[in-house]
Amino acid sequence: MGIISKSGRHYGGTFAHRDIAFEFASWISPAFKLYLIKEFQRLKDEENKRLELDWDLRRSLAKINYTIQTDAIKENLIPKELDPVAISKIYAGEADILNLALFGMTARDWNNKNPNLGNLRDSATLEQLVVLSNLESINAMLIG
């Protein structure tokens, strides 16, 4: 669903829904993913100027692929008979793996070392969040 392949000399090819095409192109080319993020940021900035809204790119970027990852975890790693505490540990474990790989510490370690700075991902740079977004996307694919 969402992808169509047609044979033919003049009108043949593979066509995908734009959401699928963007995700695929982002996975193949980090430069394209960064372009999409920058363009999205530019458009949101223009919209904010027009509508005078408060918008945080960092928060949005931190959420982009997190849902993809949590959906993959829910569908592939969590048995139905687990209790909510065990389920939350599975989600936290996957997030900790990525945080350790990128930041060298878990979110809990960050909060213990920086009690007044808030969330680890809110304190990350734009570049770190782009890398994290890619890691979440790849992790979701590997979980699947």
Handedness of CA 127, 45, 26, 142 (dihedral sign): positive
* Closest to 137 (Cα-Cα) out of 23, 3, 53: 23
Task: Specify which of 3-7, 58-62, 100-104 reaches the highest per-range mean pLDDT.
Answer: 100-104
* Closest to 5 (Cα-Cα) out of 67, 73, 15, 92: 15
Residue 129 lies in domain? 56-144
Tell me what pLDDT residue 20 has.
86
* Closest to 22 (Cα-Cα) out of 111, 132, 133: 133
Structurally, how many domains does the chain consist of?
1
Asked, for residue 102, whether it belongs to a domain, the answer is yes
Asked, for residue 34, whether it belongs to a domain, the answer is no
On whether the pTM is more than 0.75, the answer is no
Asked, for residue 98, whether it belongs to a domain, the answer is yes
Asked, for residue 15, whether it belongs to a domain, the answer is no
Contacts 24+ apart (CB under 8 A), 80-84: none
pLDDT confidence tier of residue 54, bands split at 50, 70 and 90? low
Asked, for residue 9, whether it belongs to a domain, the answer is no
Asked, for residue 117, whether it belongs to a domain, the answer is yes
Asked, for residue 16, whether it belongs to a domain, the answer is no
